[in-house]
Amino acid sequence: MSRFWSEAVRGLTPYVPGEQPRITGLIKLNTNECPYAPSLRVLQAVRDAAGEDLRLYPDPECTQLRQAIAEHHGLQPEQVFVGNGSDEVLAHAFMALFRQQHPLLLPDISYSFYPVYARLFGIATRSVALDEQLRLRVQDLLDAGPNGGIVFANPNAPTGIALPLHDIESLLQGNRDSAVLVDEAYVDFGAQSAVELIQRHPQLLVVRTLSKAHALAGLRVGYALGQAELIEGLVRVKDSFNSYPLDRLALAGATAAMQDDTWLAHTRSRIIASREQLSESLRELGFDVLPSAANFVFARHPARDAAELAAALREQRILVRHFRKPERISAFLRISIGTEAQCEALVSALRGILQVPASALGE
């Protein structure tokens, strides 16, 4: 704390990202990165972009990338906003859309960056509790009173549970006077996208990232989709903050990624298959595993303390994520889907920790 800090900075509670330790041989299942290398076409495009043009500023409008994203989704480039990771896109969207008279609604258990942005931008929030099964109920959002916007992730994080498209549509029909932001960071792993609702609902903003399904967390590219007028609001914020959030390497790599549907389909199905296999193995070990539509599972053991399990796994160089807060989810571990071999290593480590003899599992 320095006496030169502004009042606003004193009041901040920053987001705490999952650990990124520099330990070799670690099985890293704590931050939902993709365990596989990105598409070779992406790597080649980044290499090709690493030339003398780096002396020049990149295209501030990210024209080619927005074109590629628009084509991928069957939209127009004016309906696409891009940013330095979807975290930045979210920040600009909060500033552009949610600084309203009424509070922003958000689920009590969701991506923990949302309340951080709300605080940064002075946005009041009202949290809406997930039900007993940790499901989001649209009616509860509609019953929560006047709002200045609604934000949630679909599938939700860290539960992995997806909201069906017809629920999102009912929400939009019942909430026409404030913006609704659907964060689809994990949608490629099995949820229904709300993108098709954009043409009929001017209040809908869908946010995506290349960090998870495209294996590009290190490139920092995210985007938002919505009607052109909504998107223009985000552009105004961006051009009041940083005109060049995406560098030339990121633009080239992300454009190539959006054009490689084959790689995406292949990787996605591989991760989904591992997720189903891992969920089954965890259930055999006695875990309750929530039905996941994401690249992670959220699981609790009825007889074991989650923090202790996470610490025991860490001793075996396996990292998973445990959230102490909110209390309601402190018994759970969030485990990212690794390669087949990493998932097997996790299951075998857990078997040892739980001291379940392999023979008792029918092997």
Q: Which of 34, 87, 179, 219 binds ligand PLP (CB under 6 A)?
A: 87
What distances in angstroms separate CA 208 from CA 42, 84, 184, 241, 336, one per listed residue?
18, 12, 5, 21, 18
Q: Name the residue nearer to ligand PLP (CB basis): 167 or 183.
A: 183
Q: Name the residue nearer to ligand PLP (CB basis): 30 or 227.
A: 30
The residues near 107 (Cβ < 8 Å, ≥ 6 apart) are 127, 128, 129, 130, 136, 152, 156
What distances in angstroms separate CA 254 from CA 62, 167, 209, 281, one per listed residue?
11, 31, 10, 35
Could you tell me which residues are beta bridge partners of residue 318? 27
Q: Give yes or no for residue 245 binding ligand PLP (CB under 6 A).
A: no
CB of 303 to ligand PLP, least distance (A): 29
CA-CA distance, 36 to 314, in Å (whole number)?
A: 22
Q: Which of 217, 231, 250, 256 binds ligand PLP (CB under 6 A)?
A: 217
CB of 324 to ligand PLP, least distance (A): 18
Q: Which of 86, 267, 281, 342 binds ligand PLP (CB under 6 A)?
A: 86
Residue type, 193: S
Structure tokens that stand for 318 in this block: 């396996």
**38: preceding bond cis by omega (within 30 degrees):** no
CB of 89 to ligand PLP, least distance (A): 7
CA-CA distance, 162 to 165, in Å (whole number)?
A: 9
CA-CA distance, 132 to 26, in Å (whole number)?
A: 35
Q: Which of 35, 77, 85, 190 binds ligand PLP (CB under 6 A)?
A: 85
Q: Give yes or no for residue 38 binding ligand PLP (CB under 6 A).
A: no
Binning the chain into helix, strand and coil, the percentages to the nearest 5 are: 45, 15, 45
Q: Which of 109, 157, 194, 205 binds ligand PLP (CB under 6 A)?
A: 157
C-alpha gyration radius of the chain: 21
Structure tokens that stand for 46 in this block: 């980044």
Q: How many binding residues for ligand PLP (CB under 6 A)?
A: 13
- Of residues 63 through 82, those in contact with ligand PLP by CB under 6 A are none
Q: Name the residue nearer to ligand PLP (CB basis): 168 or 349.
A: 168
CB of 6 to ligand PLP, least distance (A): 25
Q: Which of 153, 234, 237, 278 binds ligand PLP (CB under 6 A)?
A: 153
CB of 142 to ligand PLP, least distance (A): 22
Q: Which of 209, 279, 292, 342 binds ligand PLP (CB under 6 A)?
A: 209
What distances in angstroms separate CA 95 from CA 58, 79, 122, 203, one per listed residue?
24, 18, 9, 15
Structure tokens that stand for 353 in this block: 């920790």
CB of 209 to ligand PLP, least distance (A): 3
Q: Which of 183, 203, 226, 337 binds ligand PLP (CB under 6 A)?
A: 183
Structure tokens that stand for 110 in this block: 């969701």
Q: Which of 30, 79, 211, 279 binds ligand PLP (CB under 6 A)?
A: 211
Q: Name the residue nearer to ligand PLP (CB basis): 130 or 347.
A: 130
Q: Name the residue nearer to ligand PLP (CB basis): 85 or 338.
A: 85
Residues contributing to the site for ligand PLP (CB under 6 A):
32, 85-87, 111, 153, 157, 183, 185, 209, 211, 217, 222
